[in-house]
């Protein structure tokens, strides 16, 4: 497929902005992607025609809003190829999805002396909830490291698997290193020991086609705002056999079946995990984003972003004195680096003044930064609306930063 980036860019109004009198070059897509007009319009349309609370009324508007919400669930099911809509829980983002599983899975399945495996490359959202849950329940968190390329140390992971392991919670794609973990292989291995696997897909789902049945993962979590959808939306996929057993995470409206003075019975899946009035407008926008991604095709997106990654890697390598963090052959479209001994914040400030948005700092991955013995990195993360010319501008900005700060 010919990827017409010029045409695609016309769908994203913010990309026309000027920053410091220069055209915006947005290379912070791993933090949050920009939104196409189709998503923005869907939210306006929702408020102008269909706005109402859902699952609560028999009147026209309530049914319209409920229909839009539940249709999104059906489309998400299809997008990640889950077995049933009961396995698709709407949350406000990957962080809430991960906290939900840590809290609820922890109460249900983790006893003193048990072990949970995560990895050194996790975002805090898939690290701290497990760490705290293990501390509360008298369990132990095991944390395999990485090799020089920023790939998970599979031998260490294998050594850590034992009869006390209750779960592996790991990222599909690292937000710092870009590494795409060999999750299918790890899941197959874990399942030989009857250990379920949770994947943090916050950086996976917007770059790669995801098929949860093919992966056979037991949980998969992601955020809408990193996949061209509104802020405050997210999804938790979980296999029914676990979700049925796990207790509710939050209590209130919608998640109940019957409430008595002395006890309560809970609703069926997925509603048992969706207490309170949800972010309907966000979910409507998420549906528009899914339509947009499906129209482009996830395989086409992955192929174009790979071209961006190869080009950027080549160009940045030609600038002397750059240290790269994450050089796996299996990478998503982001590059973390340091310019000589320049502090990432100093480099980021100069790059910003040229209208280029990159992220600097620890990227919410302090255990990884401590492992690498660095304070942080500069991270350029690409989306399908980025161009080779924008990468050239980034390289010029890096050269300037190098000249000014060395």
Tokens of 286: 């998420």
Taking the complex as a whole, the smallest distance from the CB of residue 383 to ligand C6P amounts, in Å, to: 13
DSSP state of 140: E
How far is it, in rounded angstroms, from Cα 128 to Cα 157?
19
Q: Is 95 in the site for ligand C6P (CB under 6 A)?
A: yes
For ligand C6P, the binding residue among 31, 61, 296, 322 (CB under 6 A) is 31
Binding mask 288-317 for ligand C6P (x = CB under 6 A): ------------------------------
Task: Name the strand (E) or helix (H) holding 223.
Answer: strand 219-223
Which one, 34 or 223, has the nearer CB to ligand C6P? 223
Taking the complex as a whole, the smallest distance from the CB of residue 179 to ligand C6P amounts, in Å, to: 11
Tokens of 342: 């320049």
Taking the complex as a whole, the smallest distance from the CB of residue 31 to ligand C6P amounts, in Å, to: 3
Taking the complex as a whole, the smallest distance from the CB of residue 113 to ligand C6P amounts, in Å, to: 28
Task: Name the strand (E) or helix (H) holding 18.
Answer: strand 18-19
Distance of CA 276 to the CA centre of its chain: 24
Which one, 363 or 402, has the nearer CB to ligand C6P? 363
Number of residues this chain uses to bind ligand C6P (CB under 6 A): 18
* Residues whose CB is less than 8 angstroms from the CB of residue 291 and which lie 6 or more positions away in sequence, other chains included: 38, 75
Tell me which residues in 110-129 interact with ligand C6P (CB under 6 A). 123, 125-126
> What's the sign of the alpha-carbon dihedral 112, 189, 83, 174?
positive
Q: Is 30 in the site for ligand C6P (CB under 6 A)?
A: yes
For ligand C6P, the binding residue among 151, 200, 305, 390 (CB under 6 A) is 200
Tell me which residues in 123-182 interact with ligand C6P (CB under 6 A). 123, 125-126, 171, 175
How far is it, in rounded angstroms, from Cα 238 to Cα 224?
17
Are 62 and 53 within 8 A, CB to CB? yes
Binding mask 253-292 for ligand C6P (x = CB under 6 A): ----------------------------------------
Are 118 and 126 within 8 A, CB to CB? yes
Which one, 94 or 312, has the nearer CB to ligand C6P? 94
Q: Is 34 in the site for ligand C6P (CB under 6 A)?
A: no
Are 332 and 208 within 8 A, CB to CB? yes
Are 295 and 61 within 8 A, CB to CB? no
DSSP-H helix ranges across 173-279: 183-192, 212-215, 240-245
Whether 134 is catalytic is no
Q: Which of 134, 217, 221, 364 is catalytic?
A: 364
Q: Is 86 in the site for ligand C6P (CB under 6 A)?
A: no
Taking the complex as a whole, the smallest distance from the CB of residue 343 to ligand C6P amounts, in Å, to: 18
Phi, psi of 353, deg, nearest 5: -65, -15
- Give me the active site residues, please: 364
Binding interface with ligand C6P (CB under 6 A):
30-31, 93-95, 123, 125-126, 171, 175, 200, 202-203, 223, 225, 359, 363-364
């Amino acid at each position: 497929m010919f990827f017409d980036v010029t045409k695609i860019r016309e769908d994203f109004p913010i990309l026309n902005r000027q920053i410091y009198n220069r055209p915006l070059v947005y290379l912070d897509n791993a933090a949050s992607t920009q939104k196409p007009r189709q998503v923005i319009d869907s939210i306006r349309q929702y408020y102008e025609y269909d706005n109402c609370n859902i699952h609560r009324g028999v009147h026209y508007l309530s049914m319209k809003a409920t229909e839009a919400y539940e249709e999104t669930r059906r489309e998400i099911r299809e997008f990640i190829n889950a077995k049933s809509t009961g396995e698709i829980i709407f949350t406000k983002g990957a962080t809430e999805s991960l906290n939900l599983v840590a809290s609820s899975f922890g109460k249900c399945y983790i006893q003193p002396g048990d072990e949970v495996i995560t990895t050194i490359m996790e975002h805090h959202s898939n690290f701290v909830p497990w760490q705290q849950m293990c501390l509360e329940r008298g369990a132990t968190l095991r944390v395999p490291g990485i090799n020089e390329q920023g790939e998970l140390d599979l031998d260490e992971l294998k050594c850590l698997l034992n009869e006390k392991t209750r779960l592996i919670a790991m990222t599909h794609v690292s937000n710092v290193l870009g590494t795409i973990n060999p999750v299918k292989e790890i899941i197959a291995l874990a399942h030989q020991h009857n250990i379920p696997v949770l994947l943090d897909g916050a950086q996976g789902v917007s770059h790669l086609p995801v098929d949860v049945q093919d992966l056979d993962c037991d949980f998969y979590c992601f955020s809408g705002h990193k996949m061209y959808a509104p802020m405050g939306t997210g999804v938790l996929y979980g296999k029914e056999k676990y979700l049925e057993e796990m207790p509710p995470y939050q209590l209130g409206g919608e998640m109940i079946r019957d409430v008595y003075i002395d006890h309560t019975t809970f609703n069926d899946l997925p509603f048992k995990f969706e207490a309170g009035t949800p972010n309907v407008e966000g979910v409507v926008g998420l549906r528009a984003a899914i339509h947009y991604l499906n129209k482009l095709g996830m395989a086409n997106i992955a192929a174009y972003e790979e071209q961006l990654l190869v080009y950027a890697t080549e160009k940045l390598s030609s600038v002397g004195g750059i240290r790269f963090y994450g050089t796996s052959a299996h990478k998503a479209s982001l590059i973390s680096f340091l310019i000589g001994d320049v502090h990432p914040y100093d480099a980021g400030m100069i790059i910003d003044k040229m209208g280029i948005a990159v992220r600097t700092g620890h990227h919410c991955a302090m255990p990884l930064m401590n492992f690498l013995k660095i304070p942080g990195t500069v991270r350029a993360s690409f989306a399908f609306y980025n161009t080779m010319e924008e990468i050239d501008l980034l390289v010029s900005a890096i050269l300037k930063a190098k000249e000014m700060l060395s």
